Amino acid sequence: MDVFLESGYREQYNMHYDESLALFQCPYIDQYLHTSFGKTYVLQFGNSNNPPLVLLHGMTMSSVMWYPNVKAWSEHYCVYAIDIIGDIGKSEANEIIMQKEEAVAWLKETVDALGLDQFYLAGHSIGGYIALRFTMAYEERVKKLALFAPAAAFHRLHWRFFYYSFPGLLFQTEKWVDRAFRGLSAEGLPFAPGYREFMLAGYHHALPRLRLYPLKIEPEELATLKLPILLMIGEHEVLYPAHKAMEYAQTNVPNITCILVHDANHTLTIEQPQIINEQVLSFLHSEISRNSERSGAEDESSDK
């Protein structure tokens, strides 16, 4: 059931993973938590007495994707970065997650095992979708929710996303993996030295077992949300037209702040970390959520 078909590949990947943690430039502790879906790997940053902030990464990117963000956030929060089970990362699945209810159940078991009753929650791409679904099921446990280009939640996935992403998973060569991530960024590959090599180590020898396909969420479901939500999308987002997704969210989510991030695509948390870090801290610190903001130019893309 492991994403790595051979144990030797798992060991190599874990070695690259451990080396890449130097990118965070701050202390951490890590642990495995046992759930009914398998072993879940969690990184913890910051003072455990600070309010908890839980992070869920984007598909195949693992918790290491938060290296440009965690140092700033962990000064004020105890940050828990969780490797989504069944995806490429250090978590090891014994069951394949195919339905949103299973993803929500896995996350509940994980935060329960961490002893978190109430917490701030944030997620990127598929992690954002899972975070939103969890919040819809257990809103009383989430203080505020931050979403970075959540997969499909506010707009169906565009064919361009599959065009750029799937060949990397299928062919697993350096050329196709680089092509995939160039397609997900506004200005080529934005990764720090060491992260690209770490990503290649995963793509070369692993195949995600996560089978959750995100779908656009209906207005009547979104209308039930009452907590403050921050939605940030890059102006060049490839998953869907950014302005249409934000318009749908603003229309149907009662207490949401939408920010369009200039010069960014799907990897916005890595491409524009200063903007992301500042906006997230401002949102989490604030008592009142604003209705809408813009950071950068309006997205001119259309749903073709």
Tokens (6 digits) for 175 = 């050329």
pLDDT at 290: 38
Q: Is the pTM of this model over 0.85?
A: yes
Q: Over the stretch 29-75, which tens digit does the pLDDT of each residue have?
A: 999 999 999 999 999 999 999 999 999 999 999 999 999 999 999 99
Q: What average pLDDT does the segment 68-92 reach?
A: 97
Q: How far apart are CA 170 and CA 59, in angstroms?
A: 15
pLDDT at 163: 52
pLDDT at 297: 37
pLDDT at 160: 63
Q: How far apart are CA 260 and CA 268, in angstroms?
A: 10
pLDDT at 184: 73
Using DSSP, state whether 144 is helix, strand or coil.
strand
Specify which residues 220 forms β-bridges with: none
Q: How far apart are CA 259 and CA 3, in angstroms?
A: 35
CATH number 3.40.50.1820 is the correct assignment for the domain at 7-285: yes
Q: What is the dihedral of CA 218, 81, 191, 159, to 10 degrees?
A: -20
146: part of which helix (H) or strand (E)?
strand 142-148
Single out the catalytic residue among 57, 124, 205, 266. 266
For residue 79, name the pLDDT band (cuts at 50, 70, 90). very high
Q: Where are the alpha helices (DSSP H) in 145-241?
A: 159-171, 174-183, 195-205, 219-222
pLDDT at 136: 98
Q: Over the stretch 180-223, which tens digit does the pLDDT of each residue have?
A: 677 677 776 667 878 878 888 888 788 888 989 999 999 999 99
Domain ranges, ordered by start, for the chain = 7-285
Q: How far apart are CA 137 and CA 289, in angstroms?
A: 21
- The residue with greater pLDDT, 2 or 254, is 254
pLDDT at 208: 86
Q: How far apart are CA 214 and CA 73, in angstroms?
A: 28
pLDDT at 303: 38
Which residue's structure tokens are 């790595």? 4
- The residue with greater pLDDT, 127 or 170, is 127
Q: What is the dihedral of CA 251, 253, 256, 262, to 10 degrees?
A: -50
The count of C-alpha atoms lying within 13 angstroms of the C-alpha of 236, restricted to the half-sphere facing its C-beta, is 15
Q: Over the stretch 118-169, which tens digit does the pLDDT of each residue have?
A: 999 999 999 999 999 999 999 999 999 999 999 999 999 875 665 556 554 5
pLDDT at 294: 40
**Percent above pLDDT 70 for the chain:** 86
For the cut 60, the answer to whether the pLDDT of residue 296 exceeds it is no
Lowest mean pLDDT among 7-11, 68-72, 99-103, 176-180: 176-180
Q: What average pLDDT does the segment 101-113 reach?
A: 98
pLDDT at 198: 85
Tokens (6 digits) for 118 = 């109430």
Tokens (6 digits) for 162 = 């599959």
For the cut 50, the answer to whether the pLDDT of residue 176 exceeds it is yes
Catalytic status, residue 266: yes
Tokens (6 digits) for 273 = 């970390």
Q: What average pLDDT does the segment 23-31 reach?
A: 97
C-beta of residue 97 within 8 angstroms of C-beta of residue 36? no
Q: How far apart are CA 22 and CA 178, in angstroms?
A: 22
pLDDT at 225: 98
